[in-house]
Chain A
Amino acid sequence: MSTLSSEEFLEAITKVKESKDWSSMSQIIPYFDYLGLDLNQTDEEIICVLPKNKRFVGNPVLPALHGGIVGAFLESTALVHMLATQEVTQLPKIINITVEYLRSAKLEDSYAAAVITKPGRRVANMRVRAWQGDRNKPIATASANFLVS
């Protein structure tokens, strides 16, 4: 894994924003690459995809994805949404996140989308929602605060 300078990082993010090729985010952020995160931008929103992967299992009996992975996926979705919609001069820093687990996450592809509930000058508040087969049956939701400057 090569490390980037701050300038190279901002350049890479700007490039992604211009091309709207969000799937290349995984080449920039190592943990996104570990998750195998894929991103689809539609006219209205960015949907993050967490591909089904056995190594993400936390409960082998059901089986169900690890709660930490679900939390990580929601946090990553929030960050992508921040990068996509806000002017960024640095990587937004997460302050806190509260994850509510609503259903057990099956060993399937998962999807998530975020909205900014308040785009403050210093702090942005977001809501994130993840689902699997049916968007109306969320597996988890989260609210998160990011420091933006």
Chain B
Amino acid sequence: MSDSFDITQIQSIIDTGIPQCGDIGVKVTEMDDRGVTMMLPYDARFAGNPVNGVLHGGVITTLIDSASGMCIYVKLKKYIPIATLDLRIDYLKPATPGEDLYAHAYCYRMSKQIAFVRSVAYHTDPEDPVANSVSTFMLRSTPTKPLNVAASELEEK
């Protein structure tokens, strides 16, 4: 497994190494110094409101948590074990039924042990967000192997 950080590689790690992300179908769409953008394709299975098909907040949490964790890997250029410590989400407006949802996450401060992340979820314009989030992550949370190694082992199985 190469240590290069391109979208194809990170996507294959997500698909095999993070079962929940693979299951809901999240895709990395952008990745650079300013953070990571991930996309959740609209799926009626994730509706929280059966009347209008608006997504449940929970699946937005999963998208935001995933993008937030991913932006730490990208910033470090390493897949060290990390764990979410806390995550706050403000739901600013309902997601539009039928539309894909994006989350952009940016790690604005990294200390030795903790990473601080901001994220917004939106459909087409980050300036018109569906949700806003701040979260903190513990770095090297467990003395276990990095995600890319785990993912490639899973793939070989």
A-B Cβ contacts below 8 A, count: 155
In the complex, identify which listed stretch (A16-24, A56-64, A108-116, A118-126) lies at the interface while the others stay far away. Answer: A56-64
Nearest opposing residue in chain B for A96, CB measure: B90
Cross-chain contact of A68 among B17, B55, B65, B90 (Cβ < 8 A): B65
Nearest 10 interchain pairs by C-beta: A72-B58, A68-B62, A31-B56, A66-B20, A67-B84, A71-B61, A68-B65, A55-B23, A98-B88, A30-B47
B130 within 8 A of A: no
**Are B61 and A75 in touch, CB under 8 angstroms?**
yes
Contact with B along A100-112 (1 / 0, CB 8 A): 1100100000000
Q: In the bound complex, how far is the Cα of B85 from the Cα of A75, in angstroms?
A: 17
B66 within 8 A of A: yes
Chain B residues with CB below 8 A from A5, complex form: 51
Q: In the bound complex, how far is the Cα of B45 from the Cα of A53, in angstroms?
A: 16
**What residues make up the interface of A, taking CB atoms closer than 8 Å to B?**
1, 3-6, 9, 28-31, 33-35, 54-62, 64-69, 71-73, 75-76, 79, 91, 93-101, 104
**Are A76 and B66 in touch, CB under 8 angstroms?**
no
Given contacts A61-B81, A71-B58, A76-B56, contact A30 B19 (CB under 8 A): no
A-B contact pairs, 29 of them (CB 8 A): A3-B51, A4-B51, A31-B59, A55-B23, A60-B17, A61-B145, A61-B147, A62-B142, A64-B83, A66-B20, A66-B21, A66-B62, A67-B65, A68-B20, A68-B58, A69-B20, A69-B58, A71-B62, A71-B87, A72-B59, A75-B56, A76-B58, A91-B48, A95-B90, A97-B89, A100-B85, A101-B83, A101-B84, A101-B85
For residues 43 through 78 of chain B, which have their beta carbon under 8 Å from a beta carbon of chain A? 44-53, 55-59, 61-66, 69
Q: In the bound complex, how far is the Cα of B145 from the Cα of A55, in angstroms?
A: 21
CB distance from B120 to the nearest CB of A (A): 14
B86 within 8 A of A: yes
**Are A31 and B58 in touch, CB under 8 angstroms?**
yes
Chain A residues with CB below 8 A from B46, complex form: 30-31, 34
Q: In the bound complex, how far is the Cα of B147 from the Cα of A95, in angstroms?
A: 33
Q: In the bound complex, how far is the Cα of B69 from the Cα of A64, in angstroms?
A: 15
For residues 77 through 99 of chain B, which have their beta carbon under 8 Å from a beta carbon of chain A? 81, 83-91
Nearest opposing residue in chain B for A67, CB measure: B84
**Are A30 and B57 in touch, CB under 8 angstroms?**
no
**Are B20 and A55 in touch, CB under 8 angstroms?**
yes
CB distance from A57 to the nearest CB of B (A): 4
**Are B64 and A31 in touch, CB under 8 angstroms?**
no
Cross-chain contact of A94 among B47, B52, B91, B150 (Cβ < 8 A): B91
